[in-house]
Chain A
Amino acid sequence: KQEVTQIPAALSVPEGENLVLNCSFTDSAIYNLQWFRQDPGKGLTSLLLIQSSQREQTSGRLNASLDKSSGRSTLYIAASQPGDSATYLCAVMEEYGNKLVFGAGTILRVKS
């Protein structure tokens, strides 16, 4: 059974710092991996989608990498801002299924 783990569970950084969020998964047979942002009491907003054949994707100050063979993905946030404060979740889609399996998320706080 696929299991997704996100480390750290919570992170607090000063404004302007570059940071890395980690996501690991136990079964490397994935079709793609998606990073989401969730604000308190809100739904999920898609940030980046990486196909299993890709190594990384970039959107603005966000860069997500994928190492499928080792079961790891990282989300890099450059020059963090207070507006980046949210919970960040990663989810993998299994290669032979239609389900998304989620990690528990990393709660990020960027202090001004």
Chain B
Amino acid sequence: DGGITQSPKYLFRKEGQNVTLSCEQNLNHDAMYWYRQDPGQGLRLIYYSQIVNDFQKGDIAEGYSVSREKKESFPLTVTSAQKNPTAFYLCATRQGRTEAFFGQGTRLTVV
């Protein structure tokens, strides 16, 4: 079954805690992206990676970190430095500059 898998679907974070969101793909796409979606706003780019072991900051990278050790995986860590992390997080992949595909998202809530 091809596609993009994000886990978990729901995640709760306590104050001062780091949490990691998983994104796995079997589409063999080179590029992977993390977006944040807040109510009434468009998607905002957090980080992206064009190839393994390389990634670039997007528009709102502060308080987040990523790694790209394998082509299939692009985990996002939300650190305690991110003061307002409650949001819907979406992972996307793309091969070259063609159509982008998205996972089903992770909803993160601070408790």
Which residues of A are interface residues toward B (Cβ below 8 A)?
4, 31-32, 34, 36, 41-46, 49, 89, 91, 93, 98-100, 102-105
Contact = CB atoms under 8 A, between A and B. Distances in A.
12 contacts: A43-B6, A43-B90, A43-B103, A46-B100, A89-B43, A91-B43, A98-B50, A99-B58, A100-B92, A102-B43, A104-B40, A104-B41
Contacts of B15: none
Interface residues of B, number: 27
Interface of B: 4, 6, 31, 33, 35, 40-45, 48, 50, 58, 88, 90, 92, 97-105, 107
A40 to B, nearest CB: 10
Contact of B97 (A4, A42, A98): A98
Nearest to A94: B97
A93 B48 CA distance: 14
A104 B43 CA distance: 7
Given A43-B104, A46-B100, A102-B43, 11 more contacts: A34-B99, A36-B102, A42-B105, A43-B90, A49-B98, A98-B31, A98-B48, A100-B92, A102-B35, A102-B42, A104-B42
A100 B100 contact: yes
Contacts of B42: 4, 89, 102-105
A32 B94 CA distance: 13
Contact of A99 (B45, B101, B103): B45
Contact of A46 (B35, B41, B99, B105): B99
Contact of B105 (A43, A49, A98): A43
Residue in B31, B43, B44 whose Cβ sees the most chain A Cβ within 10 Å: B43
Contacts of A103: 42
Contacts of B88: 41
B99 A99 contact: no
Contacts of A49: 98-99
A49 B41 CA distance: 22
